[in-house]
Amino acid sequence: MTSNIHRKFLNLVPLTMPTNYRNQSYSKIRKDCISKGVLFEDPEFPANNKSLFNSKIDNEIEWKRPKELCRVPKLVVEGVSCDDLNQGDLGNTWFVTACSSLAQEPKLWQKVVTNHKDQEWDDKNLYAGIFKFLFWRFGDWIEVVIDDRLPTKNGNLVFCHSKSRNEFWSALLEKAYAKMYGDYESLESGTVADSLVDFTSGVSEKLETVKLKATLSDPESSNALFTKLCDAKENRALMTCNIQCVKEEVGKYTDKGLVLGHGYNITDVKSITVSRSLQGTIGSSMLYLVRLFNPWGSREWNGAWSDSSEEWKRVAPQQWEKMGVKFQQEGEFWMSFEDLLNHFTAIDICHFVNTSFFSIKKTWAEAILHSEWHHNGRNGGGVVNAPSFLGNPQFLFDINGISDKVMISLEQHDIHPDRQTFGQNLNTIGFHIMKVEENRKYRVHILGQMMFSSEYCKTRSVFGETTLPKGRYVIIPTTAEQGCTGRFMLRLYTGSSASAGELTKEGPTRGCPCLKKHVMVTTITVISVDGLELPSTAKSKESLDPMITIKCEGESIKSNHHTNTTSATYNITGTFYRKKPELPIIVEIENHNVLVNDFLAEGRVDEHGNEAGKEIKCKLYGRKKEAEQVKPGTLSVFIRSSFDLTSL
């Protein structure tokens, strides 16, 4: 497998200084506590029941500092490992899975548990009982500080904790995360994917295997999905999978040894061409394997490719290692790609598409855009043909090359504005991409050609990717139902600068009263030109390579050229706001040359059509002295116009 994206974890430090959450500065608080000889007690997240739960009270919990729980507390004991963690009493298995996944990449972990060596306990009376962590929230890194008082019962940590009794990074990280979301109880309803985005600034993509299997009977689709996983692994994306179930079944085992409701880390993906000498022994010419890590204990998968299965016995361990099929840590196991899809219900991928993570093999332009669905005409719902649909927020971008891959992540805010309640009141969201006119600069009022539609999900983020030809496009993020409200962020990645931005104006505004105002809006599509001839005056070329330019009141739109043809289809569209509608729109046709193009003819479109539109054919003429001379060929256009400047 090859990938057009290659990731390097080089510089994970934010380009701008992180924002202090609730205006709490770690350095100032720490310095003040040391000067006074006291340990920090966080007034913003006090050691009481309000910080624990929003729906119950537990009077048995005592808040204790690590030095009250062990003699020599440490943030990290003998390095960070994927199998460091225990869940505790809180039902946030997703958080433990996310921490385990984060621990696979030490540099990512060090970004979240920032300056961890400087935060270690010391013997120089410089310890102040304060810790800081970095999280990425909707375009910004924020620094969250906490005190080190942790919930305990009978001298043991209640919630997430490390397997080493004197290691506290996971318990403190969980507390900082709980502070950001309001309380510990709110962490019961999160997802691995969202947490990894908060940890890394990555882009989340969820793959539901039930939906995938419906399309994977086609070998091409199956290969495309496996290639996606291979590319994600090569790009060092963080991947997890799980078996979704009802709350009462979380933690139970399947007959194949997999834990329901718990997440597994995908640590390797292999497409292996088996050498001819081994094909008879192995029984296949190709192997499609996935390696998983179970952070929940020693029990593992017992199906095909499990530790004691027949598959391993067919060739020597050295042969498997030569083929790249090997283990790196305890708790890892292999399974076939087919079994992965059959036994797990969801695969989450945290992609890293921040341009600073890429090598020179591929660069991406990133646009981060913020907006909201609100009652002031910007929440039209997700039904494309509904009259309200184009009332949603609209974002414009360009594809400048012949074609380009586009990746989009729509992410809604997941904390209720009135009370910090994690994951509550999420909208069902999705987005559409629509082709628009080449010169579109105001909001769209008539549906264009739909090029891509995402799934609609009641999740924090929805991801989509597609390939688009050159042109101008509008992304329309929506909620499924009309009338929903909420803030969101749109992240757009393209191969070159896309000049992305939100369309907010309905049309041109009137400027100086002394200037003539716009009175008509016209949308014209040049469909085709037919029957052209190369003039005898053409410069140094025998082939006819026609291109067109649409001109209206000083504004122009150029097409690409076609090669060696007397007839060409363009379907290029422009919208013009006109002060002088009595003047025709000119469609100039030229023969493309390297230096100077040959003028062939021009069409003069003096009909306006109407709001419904009209297809017309125009004769072609010369210009200047030959302005009345009819030239060979015919121009076909579709034109629509309105005196209401906000109707097209």
Give domain status of residue 6, yes or no: no
Token couple for 376:
């002031």
Residues 457, 564 within the same domain? no
The amino acid occupying position 116 is H
**What's the pLDDT at 16?**
65
Residues 249, 100 within the same domain? no
- The rounded distance, in Å, linking the Cα atoms of 55 and 373 is 30
Q: Which of 184, 201, 218 is the last residue of a domain?
A: 201
CB neighbour burial string for 344-372, b if at least 16 within 10 angstroms, e if fewer: bebbbbbbbbbeebbeeebebbbbebebe
Q: The domain spanning residue 459 has which CATH number?
A: 2.60.120.380
**What's the pLDDT at 422?**
47
Give domain status of residue 83, yes or no: yes
- The rounded distance, in Å, linking the Cα atoms of 619 and 601 is 10
Give domain status of residue 214, yes or no: yes
The 3-class secondary structure across 492-509, one letter per residue, is EEECCCCCCEEECCCCCC
Q: In what order do the strands lie in the sheet with 546-552?
A: 555-558, 546-552, 585-591, 598-605, 614-621, 630-642, 520-530, 568-578
**What's the pLDDT at 492?**
95
Question: What CA–CA distances, in Å, run from 385 to 390, 429, 551, 646?
Answer: 9, 17, 32, 18
* Domain limits for position 314: 204-351
Residues 195, 56 within the same domain? yes
Q: The domain spanning residue 594 has which CATH number?
A: 2.60.40.150
Residues 257, 161 within the same domain? no
Give domain status of residue 7, yes or no: no
Residues 179, 243 within the same domain? no
Q: Which of 158, 183, 201 is the last residue of a domain?
A: 201
| Cβ contact 493:403 at 8 Å | no
- The rounded distance, in Å, linking the Cα atoms of 128 and 30 is 6
Q: Which residues are catalytic?
A: 262, 294
Give domain status of residue 510, yes or no: no
Q: Total structural domains in the chain? A: 4
**What's the pLDDT at 29?**
97
- The rounded distance, in Å, linking the Cα atoms of 309 and 326 is 15
Give domain status of residue 357, yes or no: no
- The rounded distance, in Å, linking the Cα atoms of 14 and 141 is 7
Q: The domain spanning residue 325 has which CATH number?
A: 3.90.70.10
Give 10-residue mean pLDDT values along the chain (648 residues): 32 65 96 94 96 88 95 86 69 84 89 91 82 95 97 92 89 95 86 92 90 72 87 91 89 91 92 89 91 80 90 90 86 92 94 58 82 90 95 96 93 68 75 97 95 95 95 97 95 88 90 79 97 79 90 95 94 96 96 89 95 95 93 96 93
Strand partners, 405: 467
Residues 551, 488 within the same domain? no
**What's the pLDDT at 281?**
87
Residues 192, 244 within the same domain? no
Residues 497, 527 within the same domain? no
Residues 209, 139 within the same domain? no
Give domain status of residue 13, yes or no: no
Token couple for 308:
């004691």
Q: Which of 351, 372, 392 is the last residue of a domain?
A: 351
Residues 619, 485 within the same domain? no
Residues 180, 261 within the same domain? no
Determine if residue 569 is left, alpha or beta; phi over 0 gives left, psi from -120 to 50 gives alpha, anything else beta.
beta
Residues 79, 189 within the same domain? yes
**What's the pLDDT at 540?**
59
Give domain status of residue 512, yes or no: no
DSSP letter assigned to residue 197: H
